[in-house]
Amino acid sequence: MTRRSFLKNSFWLILLGIGAYPLYEFVVSKRIHPPIKVHIHKHLLPGQYIGYPKFYLFETKNGPIAVSRRCTHLGCTVNYEPNLKMFICPCHQSRFMWDGKYISGPANGKNLAKFPVKVLKNNEGYVVFVPRGA
């Protein structure tokens, strides 16, 4: 193998590795890093909510909504203000509706993430699926 062909093959292998990484992240990492299941053994009535370090769970007429507490600006943990029914970020004051919709601030139009929620049988509670790193 000449030096030139070695460099050429190395170049293509590196390019293949760079191109395959996003595919690896998409396909494999979901199996290796499944979401964290948070079990909540409490039944909420519409209008009630419960807070956790990573999310707030709100019960509505249309079912539960789990809203991430990670600010979409730089990732600070937002606080829920029940009197205003909104999340306020302590870092740069971005504001979000109770359901995570962006209102104002440097988060620049990006809503808070929502996590999948499963309602347990017989209103025994919920399971919230929190993605790793959320």
The answer to whether residue 112 forms part of the interface with ligand FES (CB under 6 A) is no
Distances (CA, A) of 13 to 4, 16, 21, 25, 95: 14, 5, 12, 18, 46
Rounded Cα distance, 13 and 74, in Å: 35
The answer to whether residue 68 forms part of the interface with ligand FES (CB under 6 A) is no
Going by their DSSP bridges, the two strands 102-104 and 95-97 should be labelled as antiparallel
Rounded Cα distance, 115 and 56, in Å: 10
- Comparing CB distances to ligand FES, the nearer of 40 and 89 is 89
The answer to whether residue 127 forms part of the interface with ligand FES (CB under 6 A) is no
> Do residues 94 and 104 make contact, with C-beta atoms less than 8 angstroms apart?
yes
The answer to whether residue 35 forms part of the interface with ligand FES (CB under 6 A) is no
From 16-24, 50-58, 79-87, 101-109, span contacting ligand FES (CB under 6 A):
101-109
Q: Any residues with CB less than 8 A from the CB of 99 and at least 6 apart, and which?
A: 58, 65, 67
Site for ligand FES in 39-58 (CB under 6 A): none
The answer to whether residue 76 forms part of the interface with ligand FES (CB under 6 A) is yes
Which one among 92, 114, 118, 132 touches ligand FES, defined by CB under 6 A? 92
From 15-23, 46-54, 86-94, 116-124, span contacting ligand FES (CB under 6 A):
86-94
Rounded Cα distance, 61 and 39, in Å: 21
Which residues here bind ligand FES, judged by CB under 6 A?
A: 71, 73-74, 76, 89, 91-92, 94, 105-107
